[in-house]
């Protein structure tokens, strides 16, 4: 059981940089990123890219979708 708890703790720490990125993107604090919010921070960001990141197809990017895209390398971290 300790290994599971330790693994969960490590995963949480690994997600911290991505969560900081999410806060920079989600300017209205609704835990979702609209296309306009993404385009404001990613120069040249397209609707096609947005659609590819919207894995649940609801038209908005959740914090989870953003973290997955950042951690998976699909979305560059800001400042890179």
Quote the pTM value: 0.70
Which position has the higher pLDDT, 11 or 66? 66
Lowest mean pLDDT, pick from 5-9, 27-31, 50-54, 58-62: 5-9
pLDDT tens per residue, range 40-56? 988 999 999 999 999 99
Which residues, other chains included, contact 39 with Cβ-Cβ below 8 Å and sequence gap of 6+?
45
Average pLDDT across the chain, whole number? 77
* Confidence category of residue 13, pLDDT binned at 50, 70, 90: very low
């Amino acid at each position: 059981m300790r290994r599971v708890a330790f693994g969960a703790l490590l995963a949480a720490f690994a997600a911290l940089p991505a969560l900081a990125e999410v806060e920079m993107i989600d300017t209205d604090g609704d835990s979702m990123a609209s296309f306009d919010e993404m385009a404001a921070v990613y120069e040249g960001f397209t609707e096609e890219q947005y659609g590819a990141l919207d894995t649940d197809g609801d038209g908005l990017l959740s914090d989870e979708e953003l973290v997955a895209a950042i951690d998976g390398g699909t979305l560059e971290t800001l400042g890179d």
